[in-house]
Amino acid sequence: MTIKINSKPFGEIDVPEESIIEFKDGLFGFEDVKKFIVLDEKEPESPFKWLQAVDVPSLAFVIIRPIDFLREYTLSISDSELIAIDAKSPENLLVFAIVTIPGDPSLMTANLQGPIIINSESMKGRQAISMNDKYHVRHSILEEMKKAEAEE
């Protein structure tokens, strides 16, 4: 079954009801918003996706998988974060970081300190807190991509 949602990036779209992710605790700063969906409608090959609030059309975040720009990325979260979304281990999670894009897109950053974790089996999600202090709230995406290219 599909439902219609209004999205910030794509306007009104039909989405499968089973693709809705429940964030019991919301996201940091948006604790009252509980239902989101990951969208990549127009450019599925792009590493960037949208985390769209189902009930708040104006609330959408650009997200990226950390592994898409930081090859050495390792998720480091507490067991309580996994339990909160009914996950058995971190290996079975979808992991994203919220992207901040300033006026100069070359300075875009990803929040690796507060990764978005999603259990694709239970469709439960959470914004976790990284226990790895080498990850920052504003981690440079392009800087990491340049490092990776230089190593090749």
Predicted confidence pLDDT, tens digits, the chain (152 residues):
999 999 988 899 999 999 999 999 999 999 999 999 999 866 767 899 999 999 999 999 999 999 999 988 999 999 999 999 999 877 779 999 999 999 999 999 999 999 999 999 999 999 999 999 899 999 999 888 888 777 76
Question: How many CA atoms does the CB half-sphere of 39 hold within 13 Å?
Answer: 25
Instruction: Domain ranges for the chain, please list them.
Output: 2-151
Instruction: Report the pLDDT value the prediction gives residue 89, as an integer from 0 to 100.
Output: 79
Topology (CATH) of 2-151: BH3618-like (2.30.290)
Instruction: Report the pLDDT value the prediction gives residue 83, as an integer from 0 to 100.
Output: 93
pLDDT tens string 125-142: 999 999 998 999 999 998
Q: Is 10 left (phi over 0), alpha (psi -120 to 50) or beta?
A: alpha
Instruction: Report the pLDDT value the prediction gives residue 116, as an integer from 0 to 100.
Output: 98
Helix (H), strand (E) at residue 62: strand 60-64
